[in-house]
Every structure is written in C-alpha cells, then in structure tokens.
Amino acid sequence: MRDAFVKTLLEIAKKDKNVYIITGDLGFDVLKPFWECLPDQIINAGIAEQNMTSIAAGLAKQGKTVFTYSIGNFSTLRCIEQIRNDCAYHGANVKVVCVGGGFVYGPLGMSHHATEDIAIMRALPDVTVLSPGDLVEAEQATRAIYEHPGTCYLRLGRGGEKRIHQKIENFTIGKAIRITEGKNVVIFSTGAIFDEVQEAYEILKKEGLMPTIYTFPTVKPIDKETISACAKTHKTILTVEEHNLSGGFGSAVAEVLAELDGEKAKLIRIGLEDKYSSIVGSQKYLRKHYLMDASVIVKKVKENW
C-alpha cells in the first residue's frame, strides 16, 4: 500500500512541480524511487515532526501541495497542534501521511502502534480523513487528496495487503464502496484490516451466509447516505477497524446511526477495546489477540444473522 502511494505520488509530482514530500527522516526504501527521480521535490526535515509540519504549512501557504510523511504516530500525534493550528486552521494544502496504521509495526511495541490516530484526526475541523483498504484504494486516495483542497490525512497500511478491487470507477472522497450485496448483516470496514473481512467472508460463504460488505476509504466526511440506507435494509451493522473503539471509525458510524429516526439496524463495533498493547507480535497475531480477526468477524456475523 505504501509503495502504491509513493508510485502514485511520483506520477503526480512529475506533472506538478508544486508537489513536495517532506519526511521526518523515515521511508528508507519506500521513498527511494521518489528520491531518485525527483530529488528537488523531496525534503528530509530530520527527526523533528513539529517543525516538519509547520514547514509544510509555510510552503503550502505559498502555493505548494505538501505531503508530510512518517510512520505510526509520528506524522500525527507528535505534531497534532501543528496540524490543527498551522495546517487546518489556515486551510493549508498539507497532506499528512502515516504509514503503519494499526498494528503494522506490531513487534516494535506500543510507541509504534497507531491506534488512536483516526479518532484524533477526525476530531479536527477542516481535516479530511482517508483510510484506504488496499493498494487500489491507496492509489485513488492519493490522487483524491492531491486534488482535494485543504488539509487531509492519509492512513496507510504497509504492504502485502490483499487486493480488494481490480479497479475503482468514480472514487469519491466521502463515498463508501460496496464489495458484496447480501442480507441481514452489513459489514463496514476501513483500512487494511479488510484482509480479515475478506477472510471472514470466504468462511461465511461456504456456510451459506452472505453479508453485505462496504469498504470505507473515507472516514471523514463519513458516508451518511450509505449508513442510513443500510440501517434500514439490514438487521445489524458490524464495523471493523484496526483502531481504538473510542472515537474511531465505528464511533463515526455510531454518531450517524444514533441520530437516525425510526427502526434501524443494531450496531456492533469490532476494534481495540480502549487499551494500549504491552505485548508485541505480528500484525496478524495482534489482530487475533485483540479480537479483531476473521474468526471474531465470523462469530459476530453468525450471532446476528
């Protein structure tokens, strides 16, 4: 997914000399193609994310489109006030990019688990939040935020995610994408954890259970229309995110659902239950340990069929 991002951004930046990437000294292999091809459009700000983000705001206010790049929480939480005051309040064309949403860097420990970023970023006015689920969504999301004025956040996985789409027609910020059309239960998924949803779907299908599935490449603005429609046509909405349940994607869905009138679907949220992980492990291991893997999704779908 990160490679798809860099490849796409490189294509964009070749055509638009006003596009810059500024990294907080990370992206050793990942940014290499960009560095080799467009050395004048990439800046290493050093391990100094606050300054990096303000520099990006300063450049953006002079007409550039600037992508800030780091991993885990470094491009977001470490410099959240710079994003709020310098970027968002000023409508600066800064695109904050994080590689490693969720437990991508599972073995590296709690500092590197990005599990509150969606909640924090979506709390900021004038920040558009995207969390693509595969490399096709990552590519489309990269193009979309480049074209979208103002401050955006792009939460990426790492690499090796399974492909969801062959291609996407009419990718639009704020629109969910339907993957399957089923009944009873609808699964809303954001980000790379779609792998688990897909695995769950294969298991369920063999048992004759076909839920509806949507992927949400955009968390803010949330697709109210899809949520409202599904709430009327399905018994249960199941949200899946590799993120804390407090304030995250499931919460965004809950906010819409809570304000709907009349009969509506029940909501079940799968995600991290308001804790930090003090154990380490692969992304797959931690998803299982924290009850957000395919087996949990299968169980919840069955319980609510």
* Contact call for residue 51 and another protein (CB under 8 A): yes
For another protein, the closer of residues 82 and 131 by Cβ is 82
* Contact call for residue 59 and another protein (CB under 8 A): yes
**What residues numbered 30-49 form the site for another protein, per CB under 8 A?**
40, 43, 45-46, 48
* Contact call for residue 86 and another protein (CB under 8 A): yes
For another protein, the closer of residues 52 and 286 by Cβ is 52
- The minimum distance between CB 125 and another protein, in angstroms, equals 13
Residue 156 backbone dihedrals phi, psi, to 5 degrees: -105, 155
Measured between alpha carbons, how far apart are the two ends of the chain, in Å? 33
- The minimum distance between CB 299 and another protein, in angstroms, equals 46
- The minimum distance between CB 219 and another protein, in angstroms, equals 26
* Contact call for residue 273 and another protein (CB under 8 A): no
Burial 98-137 (b: 16+ CB within 10 A, else e): bbbbbbbbbeeeeebbbbbbbbbbbebeebbbbbbbbbbb
Q: Which stretch binds another protein (CB under 8 A): 53-61, 227-235, 287-295, 297-305?
A: 53-61
Q: Which residues lie across from 240 on neighbouring strands?
A: 189, 270
| Residue 116 DSSP symbol | S
For another protein, the closer of residues 49 and 134 by Cβ is 49
* Contact call for residue 56 and another protein (CB under 8 A): yes
CA atoms within 13 A on the CB side of 71: 18
Give the DSSP per-residue string, 241-288: EEEESTTSHHHHHHHHHHT--SS--EEEEEEE-S----S---HHHHHH
* Contact call for residue 82 and another protein (CB under 8 A): yes
Q: How far apart are CA 255 and CA 251, in angstroms?
A: 6
Q: Which stretch binds another protein (CB under 8 A): 81-89, 184-192, 211-219, 251-259?
A: 81-89
Q: How far apart are CA 76 and CA 98, in angstroms?
A: 7
CB 201 within 8 A of CB 162: no
* Contact call for residue 58 and another protein (CB under 8 A): yes
For another protein, the closer of residues 22 and 227 by Cβ is 22
Q: Which residues lie across from 97 on neighbouring strands?
A: 69, 154
* Contact call for residue 70 and another protein (CB under 8 A): no
- Binding residues for another protein (CB under 8 A): 40, 43, 45-46, 48, 50-51, 54-64, 81-82, 85-86, 89-90
